[in-house]
A and B are shown apart, each in its own frame.
Chain A
């Protein structure tokens, strides 16, 4: 049974560029949440997708956008990258929108130069 898978695992971008990160939820899960984890910090909630809609959003600018597909997979897009966007981006999946069993992927490490 595959867990949460994320791609790419590492990537390097320059300021002003755009990036797309991808997530496949654990089998049987229908909800995907995205978190940003800066070095030495706890994860910060970006947004959650359920039934292909953004259900809740954290304190992140509109440069951060997402999408959920009919197969429940999800993408996180970040436009006009800033140095401060360098972080580990974590995808978490669950069944329904409660916390219950929230399973995290290994993350995508983004470095902005």
Chain B
């Protein structure tokens, strides 16, 4: 089945640094999503990408949908302590047998030191 590989698995950074993480797939997705999950909470949608090559920003977050449709990356600029959490990428294909199903990566654990 489809699998998403996220890297790095964990990051330890200083407040104010920029962060970059990426996600690759063995197969094509036509939608990429990035979520953040805090302890004891469900994932919260950060950015949705619907078109190959698309670059989308949400405040200090920027994400891109790779042109091959098999990868995506997320950048966080000028990190702050509340950026701590687990970041997940997720892929989706409308229609066919994947109807309604998100495939998630394993997550990137982000720790920000003040």
Contact = CB atoms under 8 A, between A and B. Distances in A.
Contact of B107 (A42, A48, A50): A42
A41 B106 contact: yes
B62 interface: no
A99 B102 contact: yes
Contacts of B107: 40-42
A15 to B, nearest CB: 26
Interface in B66-114: 88, 90, 92, 94, 97-107
Contacts of A45: 101-103
A56 B99 contact: yes
A75 to B, nearest CB: 18
Contacts of B33: 99, 102
B106 A42 contact: yes
Interface string A29-64: 001010100001111110010100001101100000
Nearest to A4: B42
A55 B99 contact: yes
A99 B95 CA distance: 11
A40 B107 CA distance: 8
Interface string B48-76: 10000000000000000000000000000
For the complex of A and B, 5 pairs with smallest distance between CB atoms: A104-B42, A42-B104, A48-B100, A56-B100, A99-B92
Interface of B: 1, 4, 31, 33, 35, 40-45, 48, 88, 90, 92, 94, 97-107
Interface of A: 4, 31, 33, 35, 40-45, 48, 50, 55-56, 58-59, 90, 92, 97-107
